[in-house]
Amino acid sequence: MKSTTSFTIHRYQQNQLTTTDDLLAIEEPLEIQLASSGQLPRSISITMRTPGQDEHLAVGFLFTEGILHEPSQIERVQMTDENVIQVYLAEGVTVDTQRLERHFYTSSSCGVCGKTSIEAVRTQSLPTIPPGEPGIAAALITGLSDKLRQQQQVFAQTGGIHAAGLFNHQGQLMALQEDVGRHNAVDKLIGQAFSAGWLPLHQHLIMVSGRASFELVQKAAMAGIPILVAVGAPSSLAIELANEANMTIVGFARHQQFNIYCGAERILA
């Protein structure tokens, strides 16, 4: 699927107005449906996303929502058209249908919105993250932003897309996903790790190209990721949840500096 599209624009620079083509990141809805054998698919979410890696997005969403727990619970995943994806449960697998009602629609910029949604997340049992592990050299953290940016192919073309990168404790980039929605980029990344059988990710860290929101912390915690590094700032609610989940949150990680907001014992001078 195409992730960018060309538009004709008018550009003003150096006191001149010219006509040229520009690339934009595509934003389209994806309806995620869940089904069991012999039952009609049930719509559980519509998210605005950048097309591509939709299977990882759907599976990652279902995992970080606490609906799926193991890859073996999935019989198959199929696209019925370019904007509808169906996840079929394996025979005998049942899911918590009440959890499916947490939210139906998510925008590319928001994700979880509203008091009811936040309460539903906080009542969800988060995995236990080992304390103090892994230890990461501070100098390694300062280089992650450049590594992430160098691999952001769609961002390089459009300048209008988020990225999430999974790094091991030695600073090696293991996987990267891009999307107009930062929560979608993280779901794609975790969905990729889930499908590959990498979870829990206790010896890894995740870096996001924007801010560290409550929902991104929740998704990282579900995958057992102990360290979340953000180019931007965290929110107060994100830090509260990170403390509860025994996570480390690093913000403003750019220009060879960063702030540690909680879990400082994992960052080694």
Task: List the catalytic residues.
Answer: 110
How far apart, in whole angstroms, are the C-alpha atoms of residue 69 and residue 57? Answer: 15
User: What DSSP string runs through 76-108?
Assistant: EEEEEETTEEEEEEPTT----TTGGGS-SEE-T
Q: Is the peptide bond before 131 cis (omega within 30 degrees of 0)?
A: no
Q: Quick check: 202 and 224 in contact, CB under 8 A?
A: yes
User: How far, CA to CA in Å, does 175 sit from each of 44, 62, 164, 186?
Assistant: 27, 19, 8, 11
Instruction: Give Dmax over CA atoms of the chain in angstroms.
Output: 67
- What whole-number distance in Å separates Cα of residue 116 and Cα of residue 103? 9
Q: How many CA atoms lie within 13 A of 49 on its CB side?
A: 32
Neighbours of 133 (CB within 10 A): 14
CA triple 68-205-161, angle to 5 deg = 80
d(CA 56, CA 149): 21
